[in-house]
Homo-oligomer: A and B are copies of this chain.
Amino acid sequence: MKLYIVGFGAGGYQYMTIQAKEALEDSEVIVGYSVYVDLVRNYFIDKEFYSTSMKKEEDRCRWAIEKTLQGKKVAIICSGDSGVYGLASLVYELAADYEPFEIEVISGVTAALSGGAVLGAPLTHDFAVISLSDLLTPWELIEKRLNCSAMCDMVICLYNPSSKKRIDYLKKACEIILKYRSEATVCGYVRNIGREGEYGKVMNLGDLKDLSVDMFTTVFIGNSTTKNLNNKMVTPRGYKITTDFSRNVEPSKTDH
């Protein structure tokens, strides 16, 4: 008895891995948030589909586990990667309530990567991924993570940058980062990655701070070396690039 937990990537069929496609083809039942089930439904025929609204995640996972234990081949689908703000951990935690069964996590392309590809090469080197949703995490800790990531010059990728109840969180996040980085820092955002209406834009941190974004947007804040090259957000690979990979790096350039 095996339950697949499948990250299907950004949204279109082509963003899933071949492994994900094969897992979904192998499954008899596909379970997910209703919007995600609708994204994949047309590509996998003769399957039983089960969907729930966004907040019924535990119900969804328990239903999938119970179907698996009845002997069905089941896949739970998540957008992006199921191990990044997805359901893989919840399934492992709930599994303790049931008799043993096999779980196979199928990795997918998370928004930091698919959105990054739209903008150019914004990550490249060390980066932090932080969600601005304080539903399950105290805002004070999110602030601490923003401070810490900015303090050591990592590229920062923000998920869930806003919602109806959190319209100024991106501004607050930018104000924290501005304590360590200049207003000219190259940033970018991508809306609706891999879906209809995909839109990406490169700008500076000063302008990002005043921007309204929706919940379908992923935000990238560059480090001190990130550049805007023909409207692509490009973070170089290190602090000194030479073709002979000399080790004469300049640490003082990055100290704050």
17 A-B pairs with C-beta separation under 8 A: A17-B17, A58-B243, A81-B113, A83-B123, A84-B124, A88-B124, A89-B124, A89-B234, A93-B234, A109-B109, A126-B131, A127-B129, A128-B128, A136-B245, A141-B239, A141-B251, A148-B148
Residues A16 and B14 in contact in the complex (CB < 8 Å), given A117-B83, A239-B136: no
- Is A161 in contact with chain B by the CB < 8 A criterion? no
How long is the Cα–Cα vector from A114 to B95 in the complex, in angstroms?
Answer: 21
When A and B form their complex, which 9 residue pairs have the shortest distance between CB atoms, in order from nearest?
A: A136-B238, A88-B121, A89-B121, A14-B19, A105-B117, A148-B148, A138-B251, A107-B117, A148-B152
A171 interfacial by beta-carbon distance below 8 Å:
no
A249 on the B face (CB < 8 A) = yes
Contact string against B for A residues 221-252, beta-carbon threshold 8 Å, 1 for contact and 0 otherwise: 00000000100101111111101010101110
A9 touches B17 (CB 8 A): yes
> In whole angstroms, what is the CA distance A70 to B250 when docked?
38
CB < 8 Å neighbour of A136 from B16, B85, B240: B240
Residues of A within 8 A of B (CB): 7, 9, 13-19, 21-22, 55, 58, 81-86, 88-93, 95-96, 103, 105-110, 113-114, 116-118, 120-131, 134-138, 140-142, 144-145, 147-149, 151-154, 229, 232, 234-241, 243, 245, 247, 249-251, 254-255
Please report the C-alpha to C-alpha distance between residue A123 and residue B95 in the assembled complex, in whole angstroms: 18
CB-CB < 8 A to A136: which residues of B?
Answer: 237-241, 245, 249
Q: What residue in chain B is nearest A244 (Cβ atoms)?
A: B55
| Cα separation A22 to B245 with both chains bound (whole Å) | 34
By a CB distance below 8 angstroms, the chain B residues around A93 are 229, 234, 236, 241
Chain B's nearest CB lies how many Å from the CB of A170? 16
A116 CA to B88 CA, complexed, in Å: 10
CB-defined contacts of A138 to chain B, threshold 8 Å: 239, 249-251, 254
Of all chain B residues, the one with the shortest Cβ separation from A155 is B129
Q: Could you say which residues of chain B place their CB within 8 Å of the CB of A238? A: 135-137
